[in-house]
Chains A and B, each alone.
Chain A
Amino acid sequence: MPFRQHLLDSPSMFIAATGRATISAGSYVLAIATLIGYALGRLRRGRRVVPRVAREVVKRQILFTGVEALPFASLIALLTGAVVALQASLLSGTTGNGDLLGRLLVTVLVQGLGPLIVGFIVIGRSGAAIAAELASMRVHRELDSLEAMGVDPFDYLVVPRMAGVVMALVGLSTAFIAMSLLAGWIILQAVASVPQPLGEYVAMITVHLSAIDVVVLLAKTVVPGLLIAAIACHEGLAAASSATDVPRAATRSVVRSLSAVFVWHAIVTILVFLR
C-alpha cells in the first residue's frame, strides 16, 4: 500500500507516529542537555582538582579542532569574505566607505555566516572524529579498561573534549571573521576605482560593531561548541559493540549536530530580531 494512502486510511497511525517521533526527539534533547549540564558541573570543580593529564587532552583537542583546521578555515574565510563583500558592495552601491556596506559586512560575517560556517567545519572534522574515536574505543573495550583503572571515562574523555571544542570554536570563529573581513577589503580594492586605506576600512567595520555583536558571536560559538561535542560524545559512547557501529556513530553525530546548530542559530537570530 502506498505510504500516502496508508496515512489517509489510518490518520490515527500518522498522529501516533508523529507523537512518538516528538517524544523521541524530546528525550534526545533532554539527554544532550543533561550531558552538557553534568559536564559543566564537573568543570566547576576547578583547576586544582583536574589532573594535568586531563588538561593535556584539552590542549590536544584545541590543537586538532582549532589549530589544524586553520588552513582549511582560512581558505573558506577568504572566499566567503570576498563573495560577501562583492555582494554587499552591489547592494550598497559603493566600494568604499559606506554605512550600509559596513553594516552588511558586520551583520553577515560576524553575526551570521562566520560562526555558522565554522560550526559546519568543526562538525565535519571534529564532531565526526570524536564520535568515531569514542565508538571505536567502546568496540575495543577501552572504556572498560579506563573504568577498571579507576579513570572515569566521562571525566577523561567527555569533559576535556567539550572544553577543547568550545575554546577552539570560539578562537576559530574569531580568526575566520577577521580573515573574511580582510578578504573583503582586498577584493573591494581590486574592483574599486578609488582605493580605500585599510585603516578607514577597519574603522568602517568597528563603528558598526556593538556589544550585541559580541554577545551574539559568543552565543553562536559557545553553545554550538557544547552541542557539537556533547552530541559527538553521546553518539560515540552510545555505540554498540560492533565495528559497523563506528561509522554509524560518526554519521549520526554529523546529522544531529547540523540540525542542532541550525536550530540554535535560528533561535538566536530570531531573538536578536525581536529585541
Chain B
Amino acid sequence: MSVLAFQSVSWAPPGRELPVFTGLDLEVAAGELVIVTSGLGGGKSSALRLAVGLEQPNSGLVTVCGSPPASVRDRIGYVGSEGALLSNLSLYDNLVLPLRWLRDPPAVEVARKAREVLDAFALDELPAVAPAYAPTNLRRLVALARAMILDPALLLLDDPTAEFDRDSADELWRHLAGLARHRGIAVLAAATDAPDLAHLRVVALSGTSVPATRRFAPGQRHSERLPVQSGTPHPDLIARTYP
C-alpha cells in the first residue's frame, strides 16, 4: 500500500493562472526512495510542499497514509530547501523540538531518541551553538536527523545534497535509500539532478502538463519519454528506473 499518493493533482502558485503541473499521479510505497526532478521553477519543491500540506492543490487529491497531509504531520518528516533549522535554538534543541512539542517525553527518553537519530547519520555530539555557527553540511544533516526523530512513515527531502560535493552526495543518497529500505520509510526527494543509484525511481517534472507517472521495468534505461496520452498535448513526465 502506498504511503503517499498524488491523484490527478494540479497546482498553480497563488495569483498565477498557468499551473506549474497538472494531472500529476504519483504513489510512493513504504521502503521506496523516489526522486522528483525538474529545472528551476519546475515544481519539484512545490510537489513536496503539497505532500506535507503547506500548499493545497488546485485540483486532485494528495493523501498520506490515506489522510490529508495536514492531519498526519507527526507521521511526516520534512526538510525544506534551506533545511530551515530555527535560528534562535541550538542545534540540539532544533533536533528534539518536534519530539518535545508533540510528545513531550521525559528528558532521558528525549536524549535516547536524539542519540538514535544522530547515530543514523553518523553524527557525534552536536556543538552547543546556533545553526548560524555550524557548517552548512552539519546543518543539513541535523535537519535530516530532526525529520527522522518522530519515526515518520514518509520523509520529504528538498534537495538534501545541495551543500555536498559529488562523492558525499552520492554517499548520502545511498544512505537515504538504505534507511528507506531498512526502516520501511517512504522517501520522496526533490533534486535538480538524479543520482546514479540502483533501484531508484525518478520522476521528472517539466512544463505545465503532467500525464500519469509510470514505473519502468528493471533493466530499462533512463530518459525515456512517456507516450502522449489522449487529451494531453505536451507529455512532460519522464519516469526512469536505473537497473
**Chain A residues at the B interface, C-beta cutoff of 8 Å:** 51-54, 133, 136-137, 140-142, 144-151, 156
Contacts and interface: CB of A to CB of B under 8 A. Distances in A.
A148 B73 contact: yes
Contact of A53 (B81, B84, B97, B146): B97
Which A-B residue pairs are the 3 nearest by beta carbons? A145-B84, A150-B73, A148-B78
Interface in B57-103: 73-74, 76, 78, 80-82, 84-88, 97-98, 100-102
Nearest to B78: A148
A147 B80 CA distance: 11
Interface residues of B, number: 23
A248 B40 CA distance: 30
B84 A150 contact: no
Contacts of B53: 148
Nearest to A51: B104
Interface of B: 49, 52-54, 73-74, 76, 78, 80-82, 84-88, 97-98, 100-102, 104, 146
A151 B101 contact: yes
A156 B101 contact: yes
Q: Which of A140, A142, A148, A150 has the most CB of B within 10 A?
A: A148
Contacts of A147: 54, 73
Contacts of B52: 148
Nearest to B81: A141
Contacts of A137: 86-88
A115 to B, nearest CB: 28
Contacts of B80: 141, 144-145, 148
Given A148-B54, A151-B98, A142 B104 contact: no
A53 B82 contact: no
B76 A148 contact: yes
A156 B146 CA distance: 17
A145 B86 contact: yes
29 contacts: A51-B101, A51-B102, A52-B100, A52-B104, A53-B101, A53-B104, A54-B101, A136-B87, A137-B87, A140-B82, A140-B87, A141-B82, A141-B84, A142-B87, A144-B54, A144-B80, A144-B84, A145-B84, A145-B85, A145-B86, A147-B54, A148-B52, A148-B54, A149-B78, A149-B97, A149-B98, A150-B98, A151-B97, A151-B98
Nearest to A133: B88
A137 B94 CA distance: 14
Given A149-B102, A150-B73, 6 more contacts: A51-B102, A53-B104, A133-B88, A140-B82, A141-B84, A148-B73
B100 A51 contact: yes
B129 to A, nearest CB: 17
A136 B81 CA distance: 16
A53 B74 contact: no
Nearest to B100: A53
B223 to A, nearest CB: 32
